[in-house]
Structures are given as structure tokens and as C-alpha cells.
């Protein structure tokens, strides 16, 4: 198990605590990965009590387990695992900006502490200041002090830099765990094993053999109730410098010298820094209008709650990235993400250069389709490579097959709502799957030209339930390429 520690959650009654932290802690308890000395201290500005918070979180766990759409869907909650968590929950009332809260905290915690900032981003800096000024971030040989910070980390390069500078005045970089939940996804982590544990893949993973790479995070959900957050944010800030860049780094970074946090994060930062600032003519921004999904009509973005009727916020982005390094020079990386797209699919596709055609000049195919390796992250977890083979029969004909696997066919899935590994790693002090300051800043630096240009650029329409705006197809067509299908 992880060493004994206190998990202080700021925003104890919030959505993140209920939807992700509690189910993940419950799963960790079920796997025997929490020490009997583990405790939780929830801090929130509303009135409350230990028993009140325990009851509230028990109710939300039950509701979540009955929701078939939730990752936590289960027939029953195991009383032993939940009991372990429930009896360790305590409550402290406190305003996040009041020095008194931190003084009160001092009397409540000792030894190892993880401070989890499950709060709105505007509180990140002041909470770290409060913790630092109260001496709560001072470590000892037998007492670590760590801070987990949620996304979004800044809203552009200047604000990300300012926030990094602010928090690093209070504690050392090694004490900060900046979360990107994509790194908690099993399939994202396994990209490193796929690439570096297989001698046959790494030699072809480079410009000599790869034509282009497509990274897609397509969602069918709309903006839901999050209009208030999404309006000033948009798809670019919400997804690209963070989640999409994490996928990019995993698939394109150089082999690290070891799996130590510093080696892996060093390679990721180097890759992110090699991404050329994105040219506005290499970028498309779209917004969904009314359409249909699974046969049901859905409203357009501007009709969603808390969204302006004339909103110019993008719900879709398509980009062409160029990486200025030895391995990838000249290989375009096409990145797209959007809400209300045709299909839910998060994947990385590596498109290889075609074989010479001459040998098959007389076979009934116009051209040989290139090999494509697709690493699927959601909703399936697996990988497959599309190959050209002979169609059985007396004539030489070329057909297309997929050679692939799903993780579930080989391994028993661990119960996982997405934060188990991240929480466990933070308690054990492994920062590999967290973002270092330089990595975050490199992501923002790459998208900076777009943030500027898009202040006035209009959005392109796409009907809900379609793959995206036409301009995104044109972006690839200009290079003689096309997007892979989402189904």
C-alpha cells in the first residue's frame, strides 16, 4: 500500500470529489492499496460536519453506481471497501482565501499530506499561497507535503507562467502534481510499452517510414451544463495544450533513458518544445449547429444553457502541427477534437508510407492503401494495424484486413474510473504521469498564435452528428490527405 497520509481535499462537496475522487479511493481501498493510517480531510466553505460529509458522499456513491452511463456503474457497493473510506472522512469548514482556514488546518494535519485542489482554477494560486505562508508545505524526512492541481492550468502562456512562478515561490517543483486525466488512462500509459518494448516497432517510428500521424478525440456529448466554463474556454484551451499534447508526446517523444519521472518528463518537454508555433492557416475552428445523433435531434451550441446566442466559442478544432526535430521533420501531425461529432473515439493513427506499387500494377486496385496503425484509447482499448493481403481465389487481388487486439481479450480489467493510478502515484511520490511546469508552458507556447488570431476569427459551422466542418477536410485535402473515419 501507499504510505500513510492525509488527503486534504479543497472542494470536498464538489463534483470532482463525488464523480472521480471518491470512486477512485474506494477502488484503491478494494485493491488493498491504502494504508490503515490513510485519512481524508474535506475542506469546503459551506457549513458541514464529519457525519454530514460522510452521508453526502455515501449518497453520491450510490447514485453514481446506479448510473449506467458512469464508469463506476456497479451492482453493489462493497460495504468493506466503502466502510474503510467512509470512516476516514472528516470535515473542516473554511473559506479558501481566509488565512484562518490554513491556521485551522495546521492543527488538524501532521506527517504526510497530499493537498488536492479540486476547486475552480481562480483559487489555485491563492490556495498554494495560503498553504505556503502557514508553513504547511514544509517537508521533513518523515513527512512529505504534495499539492495536486487540476486543469486548466492557466488560460494562455502568460497566465500559465505566472501561476507556475507563484506556486514555485511556496514549494519545490517536485512537490507539485499537475493533473491531466488523460495520463490516467490505461491505454495512454501503455503507449510507452507498445513503442519501447517491441523491437519491431521502434525502427519504423520515424520520418523515413511514417507519412503522417492523426490524433483524434471525438466526442458525441455536447457542452452539457458546462456552458459557463466552456464559453470563455473553447475546445482549443479545453483540450489541445493539455490532453492532445499528452497524446502527442507519448507517441512522438524520444525513448527516455529510464521510466523515472524526470527522464520521461524530460523527453516529453523536449518534444513539446519542438512543436512549431501553430500557424493560423494550419488551424480550423468549428461550432456545432443543430443536427441529429443516433436518430435524435440535438440543439446547436448557441441554444445550450449558459451560452450566448451569438457565441463565437469553438467546440471543434483541427490543426496541422509540425515538429522540428530529427525524427519527425516533414511529418505532419493532424490533430482534431470536438463535441457533438459523429462518433466517440479517442485514438492515435500512424499512417505509414506506401509500398512501391509496381509489383501490383496489374492487380485490380487503383493504388495500394498505406498501412495504418490505430491505437484506440476510448471507448475501446487496444490497437490494430491495417494491412493489404491477397483476397483468396485464383486471381491476384488485394484486400484490406486488420491485425489487432483489445486489452480486455488478454487481461482482466482492473476497476478504474480514471484517477486510481494518479492518486496512488501521488501518494507514493511517482510524478511520471503528472505535468511538469516546462511541459505545460510548451503546450501553451505552441497554441499561442491561435489564441491571438482567434480573438476575431469566425467559427465554421458543422451540424451536430457530423465529423466536423468542411474546412477541416480542406486542411488535409491541401496536402493530398484525408481524415480517417470515426466509426
Q: Catalytic residues, which ones?
A: 243
Using CB positions, name the residue nearest to ligand BG6: 238
Return d(Cα 216, Cα 349) in angstroms, integer.
8
Calculate ∠ Cα 294-299-300, nearest 5°: 115
Q: Taking the C-alpha atoms of 242, 244, 245 and 246 in order, what is their torsion angle to the nearest 10 degrees?
A: 80
Is 378 among the residues that bind ligand BG6 (CB under 6 A)?
yes
- CB-wise, 210 or 250, nearer to ligand BG6? 250
Q: Residue 117: helix, strand or coil by DSSP?
A: strand
Chain positions 447 to 486 lying near ligand BG6, rule: CB under 6 A, are none
Query: Is 339 among the annotated ligand-binding positions?
Result: yes
Q: Kindly state the cell numbers that stand for 204.
A: 519504423
CB of 368 to ligand BG6, least distance (A): 34
- CB-wise, 173 or 224, nearer to ligand BG6? 224
CB of 257 to ligand BG6, least distance (A): 30
Distance, first Cα to last Cα, the chain: 41
- CB-wise, 378 or 448, nearer to ligand BG6? 378
Query: Is 185 among the annotated ligand-binding positions?
Result: yes
Query: Is 181 among the annotated ligand-binding positions?
Result: yes
Query: Is 276 among the annotated ligand-binding positions?
Result: no
CB of 70 to ligand BG6, least distance (A): 12
Query: At 332, phi and psi to the nearest 5?
Result: -75, 140
Q: Taking the C-alpha atoms of 128, 133, 136 and 140 in order, what is their torsion angle to the nearest 10 degrees?
A: 110
Count the site residues for ligand BG6 by CB under 6 A.
4
Pairing of strands 113-117, 145-149: parallel
CB of 293 to ligand BG6, least distance (A): 15
CB of 219 to ligand BG6, least distance (A): 6
- CB-wise, 214 or 346, nearer to ligand BG6? 346
Find where cell 485514438 sits: 347
Query: Is 144 among the annotated ligand-binding positions?
Result: no
User: Which of 44, 219, 420, 425 lies at the binding interface for ligand BG6 (CB under 6 A)?
Assistant: 219
CB 245 within 8 A of CB 272: yes
Is 231 among the residues that bind ligand BG6 (CB under 6 A)?
no
Is 346 among the residues that bind ligand BG6 (CB under 6 A)?
yes
- CB-wise, 14 or 48, nearer to ligand BG6? 14
Query: At 138, phi and psi to the nearest 5?
Result: -75, 125
Q: Kindly state the cell numbers that stand for 285.
A: 475552428
CB 148 within 8 A of CB 426: yes
User: Which of 238, 425, 441, 460 lies at the binding interface for ligand BG6 (CB under 6 A)?
Assistant: 238
Return d(Cα 12, Cα 369) in angstroms, integer.
53
Query: Is 219 among the annotated ligand-binding positions?
Result: yes
Chain positions 81 to 120 lying near ligand BG6, rule: CB under 6 A, are none
CB 39 within 8 A of CB 71: no
The residue ranges that bind ligand BG6 (CB under 6 A) are 219, 238, 346, 378
Binding site per annotation, positions for NADP(+)? 95-96, 151
Amino acid at each position: 500500500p501507499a504510505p500513510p497520509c492525509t488527503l486534504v481535499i479543497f472542494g470536498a462537496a464538489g463534483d470532482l470529489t463525488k464523480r472521480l475522487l471518491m470512486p477512485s479511493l474506494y477502488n484503491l481501498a478494494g485493491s488493498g492499496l491504502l494504508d490503515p493510517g490513510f485519512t481524508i480531510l474535506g475542506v469546503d466553505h459551506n457549513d458541514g460536519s464529519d457525519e454530514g460529509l460522510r452521508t453526502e458522499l455515501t449518497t453520491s456513491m450510490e447514485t453514481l453506481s446506479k448510473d449506467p452511463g458512469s464508469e463506476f456503474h456497479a451492482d453493489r457497493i462493497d460495504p468493506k471497501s466503502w466502510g474503510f473510506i467512509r470512516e476516514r472522512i472528516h470535515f473542516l469548514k473554511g473559506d479558501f482565501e481566509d488565512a484562518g482556514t490554513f491556521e485551522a488546518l495546521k492543527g488538524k494535519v501532521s506527517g504526510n499530506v497530499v493537498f488536492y485542489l479540486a476547486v475552480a482554477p481562480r483559487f489555485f494560486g491563492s490556495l498554494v499561497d495560503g498553504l505556503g505562508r502557514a508553513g504547511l508545505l514544509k517537508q521533513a524526512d518523515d513527512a512529505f507535503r504534495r499539492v495536486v492541481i487540476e486543469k486548466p492550468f492557466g488560460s494562455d502562456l502568460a497566465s500559465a507562467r505566472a501561476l507556475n512562478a507563484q506556486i514555485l515561490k511556496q514549494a519545490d517543483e517536485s512537490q507539485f502534481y499537475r493533473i491531466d486525466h488523460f495520463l490516467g488512462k490505461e491505454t495512454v500509459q501503455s503507449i510507452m510499452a507498445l513503442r519501447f518494448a517491441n523491437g519491431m516497432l521502434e525502427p519504423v517510428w520515424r520520418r523515413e517510414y511514417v507519412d503522417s500521424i492523426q490524433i483524434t478525440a471525438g466526442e458525441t456529448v455536447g457542452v452539457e451544463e458546462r456552458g459557463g466554463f466552456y464559453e470563455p474556454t473553447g475546445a482549443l484551451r479545453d483540450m489541445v495544450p493539455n490532453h492532445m499534447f499528452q497524446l502527442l508526446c507519448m507517441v512522438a517523444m524520444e525513448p527516455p533513458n529510464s521510466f523515472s519521472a524526470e527522464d520521461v518528463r524530460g523527453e516529453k518537454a523536449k518534444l513539446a518544445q519542438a512543436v512549431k508555433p501553430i500557424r493560423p492557416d494550419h488551424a480550423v475552428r468549428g461550432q456545432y449547429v443543430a443536427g441529429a445523433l443516433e436518430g435524435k435531434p440535438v440543439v446547436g451550441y448557441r441554444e445550450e444553457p449558459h451560452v450566448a446566442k451569438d457565441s463565437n466559442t469553438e467546440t471543434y478544432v483541427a490543426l496541422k502541427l509540425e515538429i522540428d526535430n530529427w525524427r519527425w521533420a516533414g511529418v505532419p501531425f493532424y490533430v482534431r477534437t470536438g463535441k457533438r461529432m459523429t462518433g466517440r473515439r479517442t485514438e492515435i493513427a500512424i499512417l505509414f508510407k506506401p509500398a512501391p506499387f509496381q509489383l501490383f500494377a496489374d492487380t485490380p486496385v487503383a493504388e495500394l492503401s498505406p498501412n495504418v496503425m490505430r491505437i484506440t484509447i476510448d471507448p475501446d482499448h487496444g490497437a490494430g494495424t491495417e494491412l493489404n493481403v491477397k483476397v483468396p481465389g485464383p486471381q491476384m487481388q488485394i484486400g484490406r484486413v486488420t491485425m489487432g487486439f483489445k486489452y480486455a481479450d488478454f487481461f482482466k480489467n482492473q476497476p478504474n474510473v480514471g484517477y486510481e493510478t494518479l492518486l496512488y502515484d501521488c501518494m507514493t511520490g511517482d510524478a511520471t504521469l503528472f505535468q511538469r511546469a516546462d511541459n505545460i508552458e510548451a503546450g501553451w507556447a505552441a497554441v499561442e498564435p491561435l489564441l491571438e488570431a482567434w480573438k476575431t476569427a469566425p467559427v465554421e459551422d458543422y451540424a451536430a452528428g457530423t465529423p466536423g466542418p468542411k474546412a477541416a477536410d480542406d486542411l488535409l485535402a491541401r496536402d493530398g490527405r484525408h481524415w480517417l473515419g470515426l466509426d
